[in-house]
Amino acid sequence: MNKLIVILCLLFFISCNHPHYDYPHVVMATQFGDIELELYPAKAPKTVAAFLANVKAGIYDNSSFYRVLKAEEMPTDLNSGIIQGGVWKTAAQKAKNIPGIPHESTKQTGLLHVDGTISMARSDTGTARSEFFICIGNQNSFDFGNSGVADGQGYAAFGKVFSGMKIVRKILDQKSHGDSFDEKIEIRQVSLQ
């Protein structure tokens, strides 16, 4: 009987200490530390559902950040830009069978490309599958109606960094040439919190 009481107390203690969020959270474990993301399914339901399906299927496990846009001459804590990741450099064949995500523009969702926003990378509308980017600083050129994309539709923002912007900035600071990191930055695992 005493063991049962101890077990029940432990379970209660664990459940009280596990955070409860109003929105889904995922943790991106990188070689530099964890980035926790909060996703907004009420505003970008198709994009969030597709991203979570990729997470549950393990698409992002052993993937990488490989692309960066930044001002080379700026110090990290003042710099802005994006870091882009996914499976393109590590296992592009994984993405071939993933269906394109119907485009949810910032005009539809109201989610803008501000500091910490996570968004899906794409070429044409409806072609986003697995690749994503995180904004460092405000990147309003990626919003609907602005010049960041030739078609004016912008990119599909769907969440924000909840914790780990120091890790995002550390990734931004890695050596790069042009728009590519000299060495890919490991994303070891992405899991639902």
Amino acid 68: pLDDT = 96
CA distance 56 to 171: 24
Q: Which residue has the tokens 């960094």?
A: 161
Q: Which of 34, 123, 114 is nearest to 80 (CA)?
A: 114
Q: What pLDDT is attached to residue 71?
A: 79
User: Phi, psi (5° rounding) for residue 172?
Assistant: -55, -35
Q: E strands within 24-76?
A: 25-30, 33-39, 63-70
Decide if 35 contacts 191 (C-beta within 8 A). no
Residue with tokens 């063991």: 3
- C-alpha 181/C-alpha 143 separation (Å) is 25
> What's the DSSP call for residue 142?
G
Strand bridging mode 25-30 / 180-192? antiparallel
Residues 106/143, Cβ–Cβ less than 8 Å:
yes
Q: For the domain 22-192, what is the CATH code? A: 2.40.100.10
Which pairs with CB-CB distance under 8 Å and at least 24 residues apart come from 36-40? 36/161, 36/162, 36/163, 36/164, 36/193, 37/118, 37/159, 37/160, 37/161, 37/162, 38/159, 38/160, 38/161, 38/162, 39/118, 39/158, 39/159, 40/109, 40/111, 40/158, 40/159, 40/160
Q: Which two tokens stand for residue 23?
A: 């929105």
| Each residue's pLDDT expressed in tens, for the chain with a length of 193 residues | 566 565 555 555 555 555 788 999 999 999 999 999 999 999 999 999 999 999 999 999 999 999 999 977 666 666 889 999 999 988 888 888 899 999 999 999 999 999 999 999 999 999 999 999 999 999 999 999 998 889 999 999 999 999 999 999 999 999 999 999 999 999 999 999 9
Tokens of 50: 């597709």
- Domain segments of the chain as ranges: 22-192
The per-residue pLDDT for 3 is 64
